[in-house]
Chains A and B, each alone.
Chain A
Amino acid sequence: MFVPARRSAFRHAGEVGEPIIKDYMDTWNIIPQLLISGITFGAIYALVGLGFVTIARASQIINFAQGEFVMLGGMVTFFLLKTIPLPYPLAALSAILIVVLIGFLLHLLVIYPLRKATLPILLMATLGASLFLSSSSALLFGTLPKALPPFSGSGPFEIGKVSVSPQSLWVLVATLLVLLSLYLLSHRTLLGKAMEASSTDALGADLSGISRHLMIFLAFGVSAGIGSIAGIFITPIFYVSYHSGTLIGLKGFIAAVLGGWGKHGGAILGGFVLGVTESLSVAFIPSGYKDAIAFIILLLILYLRPKGILGSPFIDSRRW
């Protein structure tokens, strides 16, 4: 049996999807470092959760292929950067465009034909789309995990005893910008209000002349864009491989539910709470259990407070 000799907290350090942390000896000394990495994780979950929220605010669909957009964002950028040597910003922009196109196609080919389908069928269809996207990206880009070069600077800089990678700051900035633009979209433009109307009251939206399917179509594009931005910003820190989309997507969804399903601020708050909790848990329990933490939080929040921390506009009654 290949049981590891020492079940250290950092057994997986350097592996796929794990931050590379120096192996400090004392548990309490690494707490600030874990906090920093937790905030980075939290920003990522928040970004992915915002993608879910965008679709939820335009229709009551939950798109399980959201994580694949994140994976594709990183993968396509890597492909454009390395195989067709494009300059970095151009590669990133074209990757976002390509993923937005994939999001539109997902709506046109899967969601729109199933507009009258019942819930289990829609659920299965988005899961099938997620399977298709991840396995075809394995075909197209190979199965090896990939990492993009960081946006700026090379090594991490030190604040006191804590080392912070510049890319983490980039992720935080991206989260803030996406949050800001989503807020402006849904609170300051007619388009955003039309999107929200098509989710809250389908008949009312139809009567006021809003094309509901167009709104859902646009929401899929926006959410694919957010997913790909997340993918591009996180691939310099964490290796992205063809199967890493599912777990990131699920955790983003958990973040959105934890903060308050359907609220932008909720996704952000939930993301940070989830990221920090997960990171800090590494100090106390073996890191293999880290993935279970998110799902335990999901079960607890669904049982104790399905509305989420901030409350949800879609889940109003006690029985839902």
Chain B
Amino acid sequence: MTRNFSAWPIYALLGILSAPLAIMYLFLVIDTFTNAPPGSLIPNEFTFHHWRFLWDPTVTGDVWGPTLTTFLFATSMVVIVLAISSTAGYAISRLNLPFRRFFLSGIMVMHAFPSVTLIIGVFLVLQYAGLYNTLIGVILVKASLMLPFGVWIMKGFYDQVPWEIEMAGVQDGASRFTVWRRLILPQVTPGLLSLGIFAFIDGWSEFMLPRILAPSANFQVLSTYLNVVSDPNSTTYNFNLFKSVGLYYTLPILVLFVVFQNRLMNIFGGGTKG
């Protein structure tokens, strides 16, 4: 990139604008490791006391159970969303389906639909199917709400793969399935990767659906766990503890994002190569 003007005014402006956010995050991290005297922001004591929930289940209840459940939840999301989006996206992009236009517009509408408005219907369906208050039920609902997005994104990636490659594969004697698996799928891996990460993050951070669709279940995910910790009426209420649990909950997402941020940006370009 060439520089036609000096960049520092822009950095300064952006720095000032994002300072509140940065300071907030900074204090989030500092507060989990320190204690400050009442009425002051400046900490005067370093401590691991607020992280004791990791090894002491008496503080807020067991944290590893919810962690495992959340991980299971997010991973199931990845598996379901990837499996269905990679095949459905291909079908919509390439196959001469009956009602293809209907599917396409259906996906668009579903994509734009606020999921909250569906919650009563979803509740009834789950109740009827006997999946209310179960982890599987929540996973299925969350995954299906994400599918329109996933299918649409994957369709975009498949659209970028030239037709000729597919025709060449068929001419080389491969079945349509082999062509898809060995020739087309490897070319949409950037899409699969970023969609997978999105699905994971989305599953990891989901709060509303477990809360509403499994309120009295015998499992907790980290978001609902955090909700319990943050209840000001509870006997364990402690602001720094709440922050520590929150930070613990956010960490995997931060790590994922830092590691894969370039890949994630790529999803909005529809897979165009930079």
Genuine A/B complex: no
Residues of B within 8 A of A (CB): none
